[in-house]
Chain A
């Protein structure tokens, strides 16, 4: 938790990160930036999915519709916050010449997506309309 708070300070302090270690090859920084952008797109897709569930499934029961939409929106929030946090950690690790940070987040997100997809398959097969 304290580590996370320290990282949050780094989000806003470009000078602090630049004092650490040496500037890596710009190509590594750009690759890190593209990974960050890919996670940001994932977050935007989850948020778009939340809006889509709310609008294009009007026959679903209110609780299910709002619950699913809020879950997707919350996943989008987590994903974008994690994107910037992981980007900062990678950037710092590259400057210090350390190993890149490992993360459980991709596994967790893919499990969540798999569970949601299975639930959707069940909903379609059983034909629940709420």
Chain B
């Protein structure tokens, strides 16, 4: 079982399917982020598009894309090896900060 192997064979596969479960957890997270982003866009553009509304809308879309990028990279890492490398803290921070920034955008929209 060499860690350099690109495509995991069936015999290498973890019987607990941990990488698959982690991949699905990432998918659920991107789905939640999509729901939050759609609600944010609705909040920003509801009742006519104003300049601050459009800026907030674009910002929320960018944050959503940021979270999607982190998820995509992690899913690719998980799929590449039989025993995946640990999740880099910088990416965890990036994902959390995208969420925080979305909430700040929301607070600006609400007020």
Contacts and interface: CB of A to CB of B under 8 A. Distances in A.
Contacts of A38: 25
A37 B29 contact: yes
Interface residues of A, number: 43
B19 interface: yes
B48 interface: no
Contact of A80 (B39, B46, B84, B96): B96
Contact of A44 (B14, B33, B83, B109): B33
A110 to B, nearest CB: 19
A38 B16 CA distance: 18
Interface in A10-47: 10-14, 17, 23, 26-27, 29-31, 33-34, 36-38, 40-41, 43-45, 47
Given A40-B95, A48-B32, A55-B42, A73 B110 contact: yes
Contacts, number: 131
B96 A40 contact: yes
Given A10-B89, A30-B21, 6 more contacts: A29-B86, A70-B110, A70-B111, A73-B103, A77-B103, A81-B96
Interface of A: 10-14, 17, 23, 26-27, 29-31, 33-34, 36-38, 40-41, 43-45, 47-48, 50-52, 54-55, 66, 69-70, 73-74, 76-77, 80-81, 83-84, 87-88, 91
Interface of B: 14, 16, 18-19, 21-22, 25-26, 28-29, 32-33, 35-36, 39-40, 42-43, 46, 83-90, 92-93, 95-96, 99-100, 102-104, 106-107, 109-111
